[in-house]
């Protein structure tokens, strides 16, 4: 090797040392694989909300799913990128129906656990909530102890 080739080789070696960290054999890293992204268009079926540049299409099924998770109107409006009042005006009926459906499903699950699976915790809770039972005794006027009379 000539002197110029030798200095070029040492320069290349020093640059490689700066760019790459040498790891031991136990730390061999797999190369990062980033797939190529392909973009396309699709038709979305939903309710048109807003005007002009603020116009967007919101799928009703997605609204129902979020409402069934008991998301607030504010959270759902932020998710879809619209104002909360606009969202309420367009989807109040769908959100309320999804929330009522959730309440019915929860009631069915509680009754299933209490009756069919004989879960005593659920039985006690339901008896207190729905049947008005409680753990302690209630004091009414008829149950109070009479005062002592020391006149005798």
Per residue in 116-130, pLDDT (tens digit) is 999 999 999 999 999
Residue 1 has pLDDT above 80, yes or no: no
The full set of domain ranges for the chain reads: 55-133
pLDDT of residue 18: 52
Alpha carbon 67 to its chain's center? 11
CA distance 94 to 75: 15
CA distance 36 to 147: 89
pLDDT of residue 44: 87
pLDDT of residue 19: 52
pLDDT of residue 150: 76
pLDDT of residue 37: 82
68-97: average pLDDT: 96
CA distances to 14, 81, 112 from 65, rounded to whole Å, are 58, 17, 23
pLDDT of residue 70: 94
CA distances to 44, 108, 123 from 60, rounded to whole Å, are 10, 25, 37
Alpha helices in the chain (DSSP H): 3-19, 60-68, 73-80, 84-111, 120-130
pLDDT of residue 12: 52
74-91: average pLDDT: 96
pLDDT tens-place string over residues 35-74? 788 888 888 899 999 888 889 999 999 999 999 999 999 9
Residue 92 has pLDDT above 60, yes or no: yes
pLDDT of residue 27: 59
């Amino acid at each position: 090797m000539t002197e110029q080739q030798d200095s070029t080789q040492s320069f290349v070696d020093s640059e490689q040392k700066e760019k790459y960290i040498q790891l031991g054999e136990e730390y061999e890293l797999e190369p990062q694989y980033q797939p190529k992204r392909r973009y396309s268009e699709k038709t979305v079926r939903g309710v048109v909300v807003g005007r002009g540049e603020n116009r967007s299409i919101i799928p009703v099924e997605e609204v129902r799913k979020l409402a069934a998770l008991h998301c607030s109107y504010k959270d759902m409006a932020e998710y879809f990128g619209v104002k909360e009042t606009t969202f309420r005006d367009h989807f109040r009926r769908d959100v309320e129906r999804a929330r009522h459906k959730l309440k019915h499903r929860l009631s069915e699950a509680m009754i299933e656990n209490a009756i069919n699976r004989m879960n005593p915790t659920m039985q006690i809770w339901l008896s207190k909530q729905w049947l008005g039972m409680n753990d302690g005794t209630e004091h009414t006027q008829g149950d109070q102890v009479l005062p002592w009379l020391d006149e005798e």
